[in-house]
Each structure stands twice: as C-alpha cells, then as structure tokens.
Chain A
C-alpha cells in the first residue's frame, strides 16, 4: 500500500530564510509525486509534480522538489521565503485510478 509521511507538522521560519518541507513516501511501484498548497479556507493548488524525467522539478514561484528514489523522499525547498508563502503544504502520491494519497500536511509560517 502507498502512504505519505510529512515529517514536520509545523515549520516556523523568518522571511528571506531558506526552508525545507520533508516528505517521504512508501510505494512498491513507480510513483508520481505532487506538492499542493492550501491557503486558509481555500481548496488545494498544485505547486509542482514529478511524473518522470528530471528528478528536480521547479514551480513558477521559486519552490523546487527533488525526487530521491533511494531515500523514497520528495522534499520541498525554497531558498528564500516570503510572507505570502505562509500556508499549508501537502505532499501526495498518485495511486492507480488517479486518486491521490496525501500526507498530513505541513503548516509553513513565515514571520517578518
């Protein structure tokens, strides 16, 4: 069975500092991996995805994630965060049929 573990429930960080949100998955088959962001009282927005090819994927707003098959990880990173990055971040793995298995979420709080 596939599962996703987000190792940190809350990550406080100061503005312009780097951040890493950790995600580990378990799967016995090839995986598609996703990071979604959720702002308060909103639905989920796709941040970035890994389907195949380059193991380093990037989003348009400066986030990146690296697929590491040997460590079964898909950590999300940003070299310099902004106040507007404050949100809940969810790592997810695609499961057959198209449904997503989500981690528990990491609340990123960026302080001035």
Chain B
C-alpha cells in the first residue's frame, strides 16, 4: 500500500467553475477525513466519513461543497461555483480507528483565478 493518494495534486480553475478532488485512503482504513489549509494556517476540519456514512460536517463546508464516499472506499470532494476564497490546499486523511494515527495524503492545491 502506498498510503493516502490524492488527485490531482494541483488544480487551477476559473471563478465560477466546478471542481472535484479524489482521495484514495489506505485500504483497510474505515475513517476518512477532509481538511482545508490556507496559506500560513493549520489545517481546518471539513468533514469525515466512517465507511460510507458522512458523520460530521464543519460549518466551513458551505452549500457549494459536497463530499461523498460511495461504498466506503475512495472519496470525492466537489466544490461548485468556485470563489477565490476557495483557494487552498485540500488534505485528505484516513485512519483505522478514531483515536489512532491519521495518515495524510499530499493534498490537492486549488487556485481559483
């Protein structure tokens, strides 16, 4: 297993366009998390899944954001009608248990122009 994989690594999009990111967790991990990190800040929690169930969403996750994890494997994060304020690094992490180490992917850097 090569760890948590995120695609694409970089995405440049025009304001108003929709974008979708993918995260492939470590195969035996049933928990998957999404975080957003802006320049000079620590990651901020967005949402998490246990298997296919989305158990919590942060207030940061506006109506333009949606995340899915069909079949409890990979996950997608979609942002509709992107805004310049959405520019950030989007990080995915997975873990096998809630109180064990979360392994992070390398992130998807989104730039909205």
Binding site for B on A (CB under 8 A): 4, 6, 9, 32, 34, 36, 41-46, 49, 51, 90, 92, 94, 96-105
Binding site for A on B (CB under 8 A): 4, 6, 31, 33, 35, 40-45, 48, 55-56, 91, 93, 95, 97-99, 101-107, 109
Closest partner residue, chain A, to B9 (CB atom):
A41
Decide: A46 and B101 in contact? CB cutoff 8 A.
yes
| Min CB–CB distance B7 → chain A (angstroms) | 13
Of B41, B102, B106, the contact of A100 (CB 8 Å cutoff): B102
Of B4, B44, B98, the contact of A43 (CB 8 Å cutoff): B4
**Given A41-B109, A43-B106, A97-B56 contact (CB < 8 Å):** yes
**Given A49-B101, A99-B45, A100-B102, A43-B107 contact (CB < 8 Å):** yes
